[in-house]
Structure 1
Amino acid sequence: MLKTLNNKRLLQSLLVLSFGVMMSACSSLPSLPTFGSDEQSATEAEQKTEEVLNDGTEPAAQVMSEEELAEQALMLEAQGLMASINAYQVENQSQKKLNASQLQNVQNAMNALAAGNTDGALSEVQRVLDDPDFFAAPHTSVWVLRGDIHQRATNIEQAIKDYEVAIALSPNNYQALNRLGKLHRDMGNFEQAKEYYNQALKAWPGNASTYRNRGILNDLYIGDKASALSDYRLYKALLDIQVQSTDTPAKALLKEQRLAGQWITDIKRQLKAIAREQANG
């Protein structure tokens, strides 16, 4: 699988997929004679052109393999997804911003959660929720944060309730939708989990993590290897774009990119094995 695409090859793929025709520059024609009439020169030029086209001695246009074309198409699809609208971000712009005091409480809660102090984190978040200003114009991110705290404290039922409040206030909150997908997956509610992931992708089609999450669900829980491969390939393609867009990609990003490649290789191997078994009856 191609890991990087240079600009020349990407331009070629755009022409291929947009017009359905492989475009390649032909070799220049042999030099025309400098003697004789213009009519004669034109006739000779036509003859030589016909010879070049018919004798098969000139280099043929380079034809990409089906796998290469598929990779180019995948990259174009990923680029389109990256440029898609993040509906939650649009919704978020219309929400009232947290004031300075609320922001400090949220930061304190995040610090406490990072330190494993779930009681302290809940206390800080509750101060925000009890604020009359917040009650009048709630911000869904706070509910997601409280859900995360409850999840860390293994209070899964309450975590689900908090995430559900978040999407009730903001249906396109893909963060809450992803979390609900994971929790329902862990509870064995696979179809419900998949529906949450699908909703998250409708909210933001360019969110790489959702493809990862849905791919894992399809791969390890539902057993739909073909769908898992599709999700993993999109996940990696989106990561590839992120890696290529920076001179110094984060180590965690590079690690995920490598893992995604390994998952794709493994899924392909499994699909081939399944095909052999089916062929052998």
Structure 2
Amino acid sequence: MTKALQSIHRLYKKNKLEQAKQELQTLIKAYPKQTAPHIDLGIIQLDEQTPQAAEQSFNAALAIDEESSTAHNLLGVALRMQGKFKQAEQAYQAALSHQPDYLLAHRNLGILYDLYLAKPKQALQHYQQYQTMLGSKDKELENWIIDLQRRVGK
């Protein structure tokens, strides 16, 4: 299956999304207990701006492995794209409950709190956590942190 996924990743990079999706569907049928093909299919669906389909793919991955932090995080992205902000928050929190040091989940939860849920203190906490764990400076995020510190009075 690893070689098949590598081939699909090459198709994805060449923007041959329909072919990549077809090959992923074949893998899903051949390996019904594997999460990777569902997750990869969901990523393509996010790129195609079809978050409802992506939500289904990530939920299929979670039905196989309910502790997949990657699937929870990406499910949060799909839910956020649909305006389902509370569900997105729950998905990001689930990702962090299974993997507390998951950088992207901290970043995504920070974005959700900052831009969609008007919770600047929580956003600041997750941005700072992300920046600390990253171990290097993310200039864009550093600016977001400075802005939030001004807004919350820190």
TM-score of the aligned structures, taking structure 1 as reference length: 0.52
Alignment of 1:1-281 (within 5 A): 102-131=1-30, 134-135=31-32, 138-240=33-135, 243=136, 254=137, 257-272=138-153
- How far apart, CA to CA, are the structure 2 residues paired with 1:126 and 1:188? 27
Question: In the comparison of the two structures, how many residue pairs are matched?
Answer: 154
Unaligned runs of 5+ in 2: none
Contact 2:110 2:123 in 1 (8 A): yes
Deviation by residue 1:248-278 (Cα, 9 ceiling, x = unmatched): xxxxxx5xx2222221111011123xx9xxx
Larger C-alpha radius of gyration, 1 or 2?
A: 1
- How far apart, CA to CA, are the structure 1 residues paired with 2:46 and 2:150? 36
Contact 1:108 1:124 in 2 (8 A): no
Unaligned runs of 5+ in 1: 1-101, 244-253, 276-281
Contact 1:219 1:228 in 2 (8 A): yes
Identity of paired residues, percent? Answer: 26
Contact 2:54 2:78 in 1 (8 A): no
- How far apart, CA to CA, are the structure 2 residues paired with 1:168 and 1:234? 29
CA displacement at 1:175 relative to structure 2? 0.9
**Matching residue's letter, 1:116:** N
Decide which structure has greater helix share.
2
CA displacement at 1:169 relative to structure 2? 0.9
Instruction: Give 3-state SS (helix, strand or coil) of 1:206's partner.
Output: coil
Deviation by residue 1:139-188 (Cα, 9 ceiling, x = unmatched): 11111011112222333322111100111111111111111111111211
CA displacement at 1:231 relative to structure 2? 0.8
Q: CA RMSD in A?
A: 1.6
- How far apart, CA to CA, are the structure 2 residues paired with 1:143 and 1:226? 34
**Matching residue's letter, 2:141:** A
